[in-house]
Amino acid sequence: MLIVMHKDATSGEVEAVKAKVLALGLTPHAIPGAQRVAIGVTGNKDGLEPGQFWCLAGVSDVIRVSQPYKLVSREVKPEDTVVHVGGVAIGGGAFCVMAGPCSVEDRDQVMRTAVHVRAHGAQLLRGGAYKPRTSPYEFQGLKLEGLKLLAEAREKTGMPIITEVKDTDTLAQVAEYADALQIGARNMQNFSLLEAVGETKKPVMLKRGPSATVREWLMAAEYIVARGNYQVILCERGIRTFETLTRNTLDLGILPLLREMTHLPIVVDPSHGTGRAVAVAPMARAAAATRVDGLMVEVHPDPRSALSDGPQALTFPMFEAMMKELRPIVAMGGQRLGEAR
């Protein structure tokens, strides 16, 4: 941490800051400046609060130097983490496509979708059983019935399933059926839920919150890992900006930097990231071209009748076309896409 003093801070004020640093068991290093003094602080381990210094007299600014996340950082663990969901690896050279309907609506819908996406190379089946919705009057998912239909689809196709867990009350039930748990964007800083999934030891996909900085996202992942669950996948799904043409602004530009910051696998959700079906395949190709570890996309037999998020769902032919286009891009990065069958 670096504490920058005001240009006209008195030497008494500088000494008071140094005394406070020492009182915390840390070491102050005064840096004489032409215009002002700065004080480097060393010895802190766990994300020292800048606030403790900001309100001292004569302090102009307090700047973090070390990052407050530890276990998720590549400085602590340089090699890539590979997360295993059912028999499917995510990270470490595999390129995993997770596909399926936004919401599980009925047996026919989920079965047909599972069979189709499997046939074209998807490796994980996604589908919402518990759906957090902006309005209390919107369809909230089939709940337990939805989980059972997903399990049936796994039975039939052999694909492991990933589904959202929206609260601690239903966690045990969801964990019983799901191979991997998804934390939705609006729950990214639901710390009680993060801690609870940290205890489960199930693979977890953590979506970035719509207004979360990369640093906050990594801190949220740190909550899960700090409880002993290292099986965490990060999912970029767009941030909220002033632009309303797309539902969110898919932030691909951070991905090469995120890769340097963390060892966790990274996937992209172009369905929520754009909210418009016509943009999904182009953004899926774009994400693959940046060399992420996979994609999550929404597919529906008939998007026009979808109970949620129809405008962003791919039809079956669109999904098939997207997978064909992805194959050479993924290969180019030395990665492997699931086989079509």
Report 260-279 residues binding a copy of itself (CB under 8 A). 260, 270, 273-274, 276-279
CB of 102 to a copy of itself, least distance (A): 10
CB-wise, 160 or 294, nearer to a copy of itself?
Answer: 294
Given 79, 134, 334, 339, the residue binding a copy of itself (CB under 8 A): 134
DSSP string for 152-176 = HHHHHH---EEEE---STTHHHHHH
Which run of H or E residues covers position 298? strand 294-298
Tell me how far apart the alpha carbons of residues 171 and 166 are, in angstroms, rounded to a whole number: 8
Q: How many residues bind a copy of itself (CB under 8 A)?
A: 113
Residues in the chain: 341
Tell me how far apart the alpha carbons of residues 143 and 74 are, in angstroms, rounded to a whole number: 37
CB-wise, 116 or 166, nearer to a copy of itself?
Answer: 166
Given 15, 282, 336, 340, the residue binding a copy of itself (CB under 8 A): 282
Which run of H or E residues covers position 288? helix 277-289
* Residue among 133, 149, 66, 63 at smallest CA distance from 101: 149
Given 11, 15, 19, 75, the residue binding a copy of itself (CB under 8 A): 75
Tell me how far apart the alpha carbons of residues 311 and 301 are, in angstroms, rounded to a whole number: 13
Site map for a copy of itself, 15-54, x if CB under 8 A?
-----x--------x-xxxxxx-x-x-xxx-xx-xxxx-x
Tell me how far apart the alpha carbons of residues 193 and 220 are, in angstroms, rounded to a whole number: 11
58: left (phi over 0), alpha (psi -120 to 50) or beta: left
Q: If binding is defined by CB under 8 A, does position 7 make contact with a copy of itself? A: yes
CB of 109 to a copy of itself, least distance (A): 15
* Interacting span for a copy of itself (CB under 8 A) from 92-100, 121-129, 151-159, 190-198: 190-198
Q: Identify residues 195-234 at the interface with a copy of itself (CB under 8 A).
A: 195, 209-211, 213-216, 219, 222-223, 226
CB of 279 to a copy of itself, least distance (A): 4
**Cβ neighbourhood burial of 163 (10 Å; 0-12, 13-18, 19+):** buried
CB of 339 to a copy of itself, least distance (A): 20
